[in-house]
């Protein structure tokens, strides 16, 4: 009997051990989500505690703003983008302006310089907190320019070239760097020569400046210049020219390639808007032609950005007409379509997406005559 009792006790404890072991395994499966599922659950979450500090200006990529031109885009992030295109007006900026430049960093939308009425320049920096909807001022640009390129590098905004002063401005070779953390400006390595109306992007530790105008304000530039930000003393180095020299073009990056979109030829004299789109591969130093825009278009430089594997273009000019729509380009199948109609035909508005909301800020209503201070927002569905 003692041996039988011992055997029964042993079996009981063995079964108890197995029960607890299985329960622990099940609990682990419930409390440790798949990393991919966890990432998907956080996308678009409006809970500030999940999104991080809205005042953070570290330049880290916001998941709800995947691949915006302010951050380096990544390959393999395919999304579908739709919208009811219902525009709500938010608190306007203090300055009516157009042809400014912009950057989206840590939940804040920065607007730099630009033309006010009568093509007079403003040096002011305005900052829209996208969490609260409030505007504040930042340090003004030391050398106020329009027609400049802008790119975010490690949380700092690089402003490259541009026309200095009121219209008609003078082309400069200066590079100005704004630090949102300290609200201060510093100088970067100058371009090899004065130029304006080019595009600049940041990819894999290097800045790329392409296209633009020479100092005569009429001669188009095809040059592609690259600056290694870790070896700035080497200055800007020339790479393969763009196939079509042009200015007032847009530039973005995605999947290790650089995209040059639209633009115009000429400026103060004869001019012609273009529909051409090219992609540059830094690994091969080669350009490739892609599907044209649906129509000729320029003057959308502050309103072009990436969202996943899509390029969005807000407003601009098509020869004698001003664009009243937002275009979307599918990088996977090389096609363009219209995403939304804008509230007005806008020349050079600022545009970005934050937490699945499309922002359109400032711009010229029907051209340079009428700079605006409006802020419009439309909801997007991003899957």
The 10s digit of each residue's pLDDT in 295-351 is: 999 999 999 999 999 999 999 999 999 999 999 999 999 999 999 999 999 999 999
Which residue range(s) make up the domain with 231?
63-382
Report yes or no: 54 and 129 within 8 Å, Cβ to Cβ: yes
SS3 at position 126: strand
Looking at the structure of the chain, the number of domains it has is 1
CB neighbourhood size of 158 (10 A) = 22
**Is 136 within the bounds of a domain?**
yes
- CA dist 275 → 248, 262, 289 (Å): 12, 5, 11
Strands 335-341 and 350-354: unpaired
pLDDT tens by residue, 179-229: 999 999 999 999 999 999 999 999 999 999 999 999 999 999 999 999 999
Residue 299 token pair: 């003057």
**Is 319 within the bounds of a domain?**
yes
**Is 57 within the bounds of a domain?**
no
SS3 at position 203: strand
Q: Cα separation of 200 and 174, whole Å?
A: 13
**Is 309 within the bounds of a domain?**
yes
**Is 38 within the bounds of a domain?**
no
- Is the full-model pTM beyond 0.85? no
Q: Cα separation of 333 and 286, whole Å?
A: 20
**Is 352 within the bounds of a domain?**
yes
Of the given ranges (51-60, 114-123, 297-306, 324-333), which has the lowest mean pLDDT? 51-60
pLDDT tens by residue, 129-174: 999 999 999 999 999 999 999 999 999 999 999 999 999 999 999 9
Domain with 194 in it: what CATH number?
A: 2.120.10.80
Cross-strand bridge partners of residue 274 = 263
Report yes or no: 256 and 240 within 8 Å, Cβ to Cβ: no
Cross-strand bridge partners of residue 338 = 327
CB neighbourhood size of 221 (10 A) = 22
**Is 4 within the bounds of a domain?**
no
Instruction: Please report where in the chains the tokens 């630090």 appear, as a residue.
Output: 179
Three-point CA angle 118, 317, 329, nearest 5°: 140
Cis peptide bond upstream of 98, omega within 30:
no
Report yes or no: 149 and 251 within 8 Å, Cβ to Cβ: yes
pLDDT, residue 71, reads 55
Torsion 81-54-186-207 (CA) sign: negative
CB neighbourhood size of 288 (10 A) = 12
**Is 357 within the bounds of a domain?**
yes
DSSP 304-368: EEEETTEEEEE--EETTEE--EEEEEETTTTEEEEEEE-SS-EES-EEEEETTEEEEE--EETST
């Amino acid at each position: 009997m003692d041996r039988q009792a011992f055997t029964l006790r042993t079996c009981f404890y063995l079964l108890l051990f197995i029960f607890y072991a299985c329960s622990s395994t099940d609990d682990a499966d419930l409390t440790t989500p798949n990393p991919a599922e966890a990432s998907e659950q956080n996308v678009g979450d409006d809970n500030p505690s999940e999104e991080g500090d809205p005042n953070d200006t570290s330049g880290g990529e916001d998941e709800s703003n995947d691949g915006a031109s302010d951050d380096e885009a990544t390959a393999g992030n395919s999304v579908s983008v739709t919208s009811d295109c219902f525009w709500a007006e938010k608190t306007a900026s203090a300055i009516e302006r157009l042809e400014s430049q912009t950057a989206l960093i840590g939940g804040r939308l920065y607007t730099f310089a630009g033309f006010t009425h009568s093509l007079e320049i403003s040096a002011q920096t305005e900052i829209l907190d996208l969490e609260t909807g409030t505007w504040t001022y930042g340090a003004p640009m030391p050398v106020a320019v329009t027609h400049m390129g802008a790119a975010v590098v490690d949380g700092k905004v690089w402003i490259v070239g541009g026309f200095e002063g009121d219209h008609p401005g003078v082309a400069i070779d200066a590079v100005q760097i704004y630090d949102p953390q300290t609200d201060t400006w510093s100088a970067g390595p100058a371009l090899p020569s004065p130029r304006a109306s080019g595009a600049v992007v940041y990819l894999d530790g290097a800045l790329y400046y392409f296209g633009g105008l020479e100092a005569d304000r009429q001669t188009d530039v095809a040059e592609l210049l690259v600056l290694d930000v870790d070896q700035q003393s080497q200055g800007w180095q020339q790479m393969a020219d763009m196939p079509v020299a042009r200015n007032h073009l847009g530039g973005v990056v995605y999947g290790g390639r650089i995209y040059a979109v639209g633009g115009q030829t000429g400026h103060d004299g004869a001019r012609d808007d273009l529909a051409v789109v090219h992609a540059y591969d830094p690994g091969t130093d080669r350009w490739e032609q892609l599907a044209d825009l649906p129509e000729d278009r320029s003057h959308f430089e502050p309103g072009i950005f990436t969202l996943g594997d899509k390029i969005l273009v807000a407003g601009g000019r098509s020869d004698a007409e001003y664009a009243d729509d937002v275009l979307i380009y599918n990088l996977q199948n090389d096609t363009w379509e219209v995403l939304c109609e804008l509230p007005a035909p806008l020349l050079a508005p600022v545009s970005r997406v934050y937490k699945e909301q499309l922002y359109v800020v400032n711009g010229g209503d029907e051209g340079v005559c009428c700079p605006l201070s409006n802020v419009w927002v439309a909801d997007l569905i991003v899957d």
